[in-house]
Chain A
Protein backbone atom coordinates (compact mmCIF):
# COMPACT_ATOMS: atom_id res chain seq x y z
CA UNK A 1 0.00 0.00 0.00
CA UNK A 2 2.80 2.40 0.80
CA UNK A 3 4.86 1.32 -2.17
CA UNK A 4 3.89 4.14 -4.50
CA UNK A 5 4.18 6.87 -1.97
CA UNK A 6 6.49 9.53 -3.29
CA UNK A 7 7.04 13.01 -2.01
CA UNK A 8 8.38 15.80 -4.14
CA UNK A 9 9.39 19.12 -2.73
CA UNK A 10 10.77 21.92 -4.83
CA UNK A 11 12.17 23.98 -2.00
CA UNK A 12 12.84 23.29 1.61
CA UNK A 13 9.79 24.04 3.69
CA UNK A 14 10.64 26.54 6.36
CA UNK A 15 8.59 27.08 9.47
CA UNK A 16 5.27 28.58 8.55
CA UNK A 17 2.63 30.39 10.49
CA UNK A 18 -0.94 29.94 9.37
CA UNK A 19 -2.81 33.23 9.45
CA UNK A 20 -6.13 32.17 8.01
CA UNK A 21 -7.96 28.95 7.08
CA UNK A 22 -10.76 28.32 4.65
CA UNK A 23 -12.24 25.06 3.38
CA UNK A 24 -13.76 24.44 -0.02
CA UNK A 25 -15.57 21.33 -1.22
CA UNK A 26 -15.43 20.36 -4.88
CA UNK A 27 -18.17 18.07 -6.07
CA UNK A 28 -19.12 19.22 -9.53
CA UNK A 29 -17.69 21.04 -12.50
CA UNK A 30 -19.70 24.13 -11.52
CA UNK A 31 -17.65 24.44 -8.32
CA UNK A 32 -14.47 25.22 -10.25
CA UNK A 33 -15.08 28.88 -11.08
CA UNK A 34 -16.34 29.81 -7.56
CA UNK A 35 -13.32 28.03 -6.11
CA UNK A 36 -10.95 30.00 -8.32
CA UNK A 37 -12.71 33.19 -7.27
CA UNK A 38 -12.27 32.29 -3.61
CA UNK A 39 -8.53 31.72 -4.11
CA UNK A 40 -8.32 35.02 -5.89
CA UNK A 41 -10.01 36.84 -3.00
CA UNK A 42 -7.41 35.53 -0.58
CA UNK A 43 -4.54 36.34 -2.93
CA UNK A 44 -5.81 39.88 -3.44
CA UNK A 45 -6.21 40.32 0.31
CA UNK A 46 -2.51 39.65 0.94
CA UNK A 47 -1.56 41.99 -1.89
CA UNK A 48 -0.28 39.40 -4.37
CA UNK A 49 0.46 40.92 -7.78
CA UNK A 50 -1.58 40.06 -10.85
CA UNK A 51 0.98 37.79 -12.52
CA UNK A 52 1.51 35.67 -9.40
CA UNK A 53 -2.23 35.60 -8.78
CA UNK A 54 -2.77 34.34 -12.31
CA UNK A 55 -0.10 31.66 -11.90
CA UNK A 56 -1.56 30.53 -8.57
CA UNK A 57 -5.12 30.37 -9.85
CA UNK A 58 -4.09 28.57 -13.03
CA UNK A 59 -2.19 25.96 -11.00
CA UNK A 60 -5.19 25.64 -8.68
CA UNK A 61 -7.48 25.22 -11.66
CA UNK A 62 -5.36 22.35 -13.00
CA UNK A 63 -5.31 20.57 -9.65
CA UNK A 64 -8.99 21.00 -9.02
CA UNK A 65 -9.77 19.62 -12.47
CA UNK A 66 -7.66 16.57 -11.70
CA UNK A 67 -9.56 16.05 -8.46
CA UNK A 68 -12.86 16.18 -10.31
CA UNK A 69 -11.79 14.10 -13.24
CA UNK A 70 -9.80 11.34 -11.60
CA UNK A 71 -11.17 11.28 -8.06
CA UNK A 72 -14.75 12.53 -8.37
CA UNK A 73 -14.01 15.61 -6.31
CA UNK A 74 -12.45 16.36 -2.98
CA UNK A 75 -11.61 19.16 -0.61
CA UNK A 76 -9.27 22.08 -0.67
CA UNK A 77 -7.82 23.84 2.32
CA UNK A 78 -6.99 27.44 1.50
CA UNK A 79 -4.54 29.01 3.91
CA UNK A 80 -2.80 32.32 4.23
CA UNK A 81 0.67 31.43 5.45
CA UNK A 82 3.60 33.46 6.58
CA UNK A 83 7.31 32.82 6.86
CA UNK A 84 9.97 35.21 8.11
CA UNK A 85 9.53 37.95 5.55
CA UNK A 86 6.78 36.90 3.28
CA UNK A 87 3.14 35.96 3.09
CA UNK A 88 1.71 33.49 0.68
CA UNK A 89 -1.21 31.24 -0.14
CA UNK A 90 -1.06 27.53 0.56
CA UNK A 91 -3.57 25.23 -1.09
CA UNK A 92 -3.98 21.61 -0.04
CA UNK A 93 -5.99 19.43 -2.41
CA UNK A 94 -7.19 16.22 -0.79
CA UNK A 95 -9.12 13.50 -2.54
CA UNK A 96 -10.08 9.92 -1.78
CA UNK A 97 -9.73 8.78 -5.37
CA UNK A 98 -7.76 5.88 -6.84
CA UNK A 99 -4.37 7.45 -6.22
CA UNK A 100 -1.55 7.63 -8.73
CA UNK A 101 0.33 4.47 -9.61
CA UNK A 102 3.55 6.16 -10.61
CA UNK A 103 3.89 9.76 -9.49
CA UNK A 104 7.20 10.28 -11.24
CA UNK A 105 5.62 9.41 -14.59
CA UNK A 106 2.49 11.45 -13.86
CA UNK A 107 4.72 14.49 -13.25
CA UNK A 108 6.15 14.31 -16.78
CA UNK A 109 5.01 16.79 -19.40
CA UNK A 110 2.55 15.15 -21.77
CA UNK A 111 1.73 12.11 -19.64
CA UNK A 112 -2.01 11.57 -19.39
CA UNK A 113 -4.31 8.65 -18.71
CA UNK A 114 -7.23 10.96 -19.52
CA UNK A 115 -6.38 11.68 -23.18
CA UNK A 116 -5.73 15.32 -22.34
CA UNK A 117 -2.56 17.41 -22.53
CA UNK A 118 -0.74 16.02 -19.51
CA UNK A 119 0.34 19.47 -18.39
CA UNK A 120 -1.68 19.78 -15.18
CA UNK A 121 0.73 18.35 -12.61
CA UNK A 122 4.04 19.47 -14.17
CA UNK A 123 2.55 22.85 -15.11
CA UNK A 124 1.15 23.41 -11.61
CA UNK A 125 4.60 22.62 -10.21
CA UNK A 126 6.26 25.17 -12.49
CA UNK A 127 3.66 27.81 -11.63
CA UNK A 128 3.98 27.34 -7.86
CA UNK A 129 6.74 28.37 -5.46
CA UNK A 130 6.53 25.03 -3.67
CA UNK A 131 4.85 21.82 -4.70
CA UNK A 132 4.34 18.56 -2.83
CA UNK A 133 2.46 15.49 -3.95
CA UNK A 134 1.56 12.44 -1.90
CA UNK A 135 -0.43 9.67 -3.46
CA UNK A 136 -1.33 6.24 -2.20
CA UNK A 137 -2.96 3.79 -4.58
CA UNK A 138 -6.42 2.89 -3.36
CA UNK A 139 -6.43 5.70 -0.80
CA UNK A 140 -6.16 9.00 -2.57
CA UNK A 141 -3.99 11.93 -3.43
CA UNK A 142 -2.88 15.04 -1.59
CA UNK A 143 -1.25 17.88 -3.49
CA UNK A 144 0.01 20.95 -1.67
CA UNK A 145 1.20 24.12 -3.34
CA UNK A 146 2.42 27.43 -2.00
CA UNK A 147 2.66 30.65 -3.92
CA UNK A 148 4.57 33.37 -2.16
CA UNK A 149 3.34 36.88 -2.63
CA UNK A 150 6.54 37.86 -4.42
CA UNK A 151 7.75 34.40 -5.35
Chain B
Protein backbone atom coordinates (compact mmCIF):
# COMPACT_ATOMS: atom_id res chain seq x y z
CA UNK B 1 0.00 0.00 0.00
CA UNK B 2 1.04 3.56 -0.67
CA UNK B 3 2.55 5.37 2.27
CA UNK B 4 3.87 8.86 2.94
CA UNK B 5 7.49 8.54 4.08
CA UNK B 6 8.46 10.15 7.38
CA UNK B 7 12.09 11.18 7.67
CA UNK B 8 13.84 11.46 10.99
CA UNK B 9 16.39 14.27 11.19
CA UNK B 10 17.88 14.52 14.65
CA UNK B 11 15.14 15.61 16.97
CA UNK B 12 12.79 16.40 14.11
CA UNK B 13 10.47 14.46 11.86
CA UNK B 14 10.10 15.65 8.29
CA UNK B 15 7.17 14.83 6.04
CA UNK B 16 6.89 15.99 2.47
CA UNK B 17 3.45 15.60 0.99
CA UNK B 18 3.99 15.22 -2.74
CA UNK B 19 0.47 14.61 -3.93
CA UNK B 20 -3.09 15.55 -3.11
CA UNK B 21 -3.88 12.94 -0.51
CA UNK B 22 -6.57 10.34 -0.55
CA UNK B 23 -8.43 10.26 2.75
CA UNK B 24 -7.06 6.88 3.76
CA UNK B 25 -3.51 8.03 3.07
CA UNK B 26 -4.04 11.17 5.12
CA UNK B 27 -5.48 9.24 8.05
CA UNK B 28 -2.58 6.80 7.93
CA UNK B 29 -0.15 9.68 7.92
CA UNK B 30 -1.83 11.10 10.99
CA UNK B 31 -1.53 7.87 12.98
CA UNK B 32 1.98 7.06 11.68
CA UNK B 33 3.24 10.52 12.63
CA UNK B 34 1.72 10.49 16.08
CA UNK B 35 3.16 7.05 16.69
CA UNK B 36 6.58 8.13 15.45
CA UNK B 37 6.62 11.23 17.62
CA UNK B 38 6.02 8.93 20.54
CA UNK B 39 8.59 6.23 19.66
CA UNK B 40 11.37 8.61 18.56
CA UNK B 41 10.59 11.25 21.18
CA UNK B 42 10.92 13.82 18.44
CA UNK B 43 10.61 17.45 19.55
CA UNK B 44 9.47 18.86 16.26
CA UNK B 45 7.39 17.90 13.25
CA UNK B 46 7.83 19.62 9.91
CA UNK B 47 5.15 19.09 7.29
CA UNK B 48 5.95 20.37 3.82
CA UNK B 49 2.73 20.97 1.89
CA UNK B 50 4.18 23.04 -0.94
CA UNK B 51 2.99 20.46 -3.49
CA UNK B 52 -0.54 20.36 -2.08
CA UNK B 53 -3.02 22.37 -4.12
CA UNK B 54 -6.17 21.69 -2.10
CA UNK B 55 -6.72 21.66 1.65
CA UNK B 56 -10.37 21.10 2.53
CA UNK B 57 -11.84 20.79 6.01
CA UNK B 58 -10.96 17.11 6.13
CA UNK B 59 -7.26 17.68 5.39
CA UNK B 60 -7.26 20.77 7.59
CA UNK B 61 -8.58 18.76 10.48
CA UNK B 62 -5.86 16.16 10.02
CA UNK B 63 -3.18 18.84 10.09
CA UNK B 64 -4.76 20.28 13.22
CA UNK B 65 -4.95 16.85 14.84
CA UNK B 66 -1.28 16.16 14.15
CA UNK B 67 -0.36 19.47 15.73
CA UNK B 68 -2.48 19.06 18.83
CA UNK B 69 -1.49 15.45 19.46
CA UNK B 70 2.19 16.27 18.94
CA UNK B 71 1.82 19.09 21.42
CA UNK B 72 0.53 16.70 24.05
CA UNK B 73 3.72 14.70 23.46
CA UNK B 74 5.83 17.82 23.81
CA UNK B 75 6.56 18.36 20.12
CA UNK B 76 6.00 21.43 17.97
CA UNK B 77 4.42 21.16 14.52
CA UNK B 78 5.29 23.54 11.72
CA UNK B 79 3.54 23.49 8.36
CA UNK B 80 5.72 24.86 5.60
CA UNK B 81 5.20 26.01 2.04
CA UNK B 82 1.46 26.49 2.05
CA UNK B 83 0.52 27.92 -1.34
CA UNK B 84 -0.95 31.43 -1.07
CA UNK B 85 -4.14 30.36 -2.87
CA UNK B 86 -4.56 27.57 -0.34
CA UNK B 87 -4.05 29.95 2.59
CA UNK B 88 -6.61 32.41 1.21
CA UNK B 89 -9.10 29.61 0.61
CA UNK B 90 -8.68 28.14 4.09
CA UNK B 91 -9.55 31.44 5.70
CA UNK B 92 -12.71 31.80 3.62
CA UNK B 93 -13.60 28.19 4.33
CA UNK B 94 -13.51 29.15 8.00
CA UNK B 95 -10.61 26.99 9.12
CA UNK B 96 -8.25 29.04 11.25
CA UNK B 97 -5.72 26.21 11.92
CA UNK B 98 -4.96 27.89 15.21
CA UNK B 99 -2.12 26.28 17.05
CA UNK B 100 -0.40 25.31 13.83
CA UNK B 101 2.76 27.25 13.12
CA UNK B 102 3.55 28.04 9.52
CA UNK B 103 6.73 29.02 7.73
CA UNK B 104 7.54 29.89 4.13
CA UNK B 105 9.81 26.95 3.38
CA UNK B 106 11.58 23.99 4.93
CA UNK B 107 14.66 26.04 5.81
CA UNK B 108 12.64 28.71 7.63
CA UNK B 109 10.57 26.01 9.26
CA UNK B 110 13.69 24.30 10.60
CA UNK B 111 14.91 27.61 11.95
CA UNK B 112 11.58 28.17 13.65
CA UNK B 113 11.64 24.71 15.20
CA UNK B 114 15.20 25.18 16.43
CA UNK B 115 14.33 28.51 17.98
CA UNK B 116 11.34 27.01 19.69
CA UNK B 117 13.00 23.87 20.93
CA UNK B 118 16.80 23.93 21.10
CA UNK B 119 17.32 27.45 22.38
CA UNK B 120 14.68 27.33 25.05
CA UNK B 121 15.14 23.69 25.89
CA UNK B 122 11.39 23.36 26.10
CA UNK B 123 8.29 23.89 24.06
CA UNK B 124 7.41 27.55 24.41
CA UNK B 125 4.00 29.12 23.98
CA UNK B 126 2.76 30.48 20.72
CA UNK B 127 4.11 34.01 20.95
CA UNK B 128 5.57 34.10 17.50
CA UNK B 129 8.49 36.00 16.15
CA UNK B 130 7.21 38.33 13.44
CA UNK B 131 9.64 37.02 10.86
CA UNK B 132 7.58 33.89 10.51
CA UNK B 133 4.44 33.77 8.54
CA UNK B 134 1.89 32.49 11.03
CA UNK B 135 -1.58 31.76 9.71
CA UNK B 136 -3.10 33.21 12.88
CA UNK B 137 -1.72 36.62 12.13
CA UNK B 138 -3.23 36.80 8.65
CA UNK B 139 -6.79 36.84 9.94
Contacts and interface: CB of A to CB of B under 8 A. Distances in A.
Interface of A: 29-30, 32-33, 36, 50-51, 53-55, 57-58, 61-62, 65, 109, 116-117, 119-120, 122-123, 126-127
- Which of B55, B57, B83, B88 gathers most chain A CB within 10 Å? B57
Contact of B56 (A62, A109, A122, A126): A62
A62 B92 contact: no
Interface size class of B (residues with CB under 8 A): 20 to 34
Interface in B18-55: 20, 22-24, 53-55
B89 A54 contact: yes
A54 B95 CA distance: 15
B8 interface: no
Contacts of A58: 54-56, 89, 93
B7 interface: no
Interface in B63-110: 83-86, 88-89, 92-95
Main secondary structure of the interface of B (DSSP, over half): helix
Given A29-B23, A119-B95, A126-B93, A54 B57 contact: no
Contacts of A126: 92-94
Nearest to A112: B57
Nearest to A54: B85
Nearest to B90: A58
Contact of A127 (B53, B84, B86, B92): B92
Interface of B: 20, 22-24, 53-58, 60-61, 83-86, 88-89, 92-95
Given A29-B24, A33-B22, A54 B93 contact: no
Contacts, number: 67
- Which of A30, A58, A61, A109 gathers most chain B CB within 10 Å? A58
Q: Across chains A and B, which 3 residue pairs bring their CB atoms closest together, nearest first?
A: A123-B93, A54-B85, A61-B56
A120 B56 CA distance: 8
A116 B54 contact: no
A44 B137 CA distance: 31
A136 B57 CA distance: 25
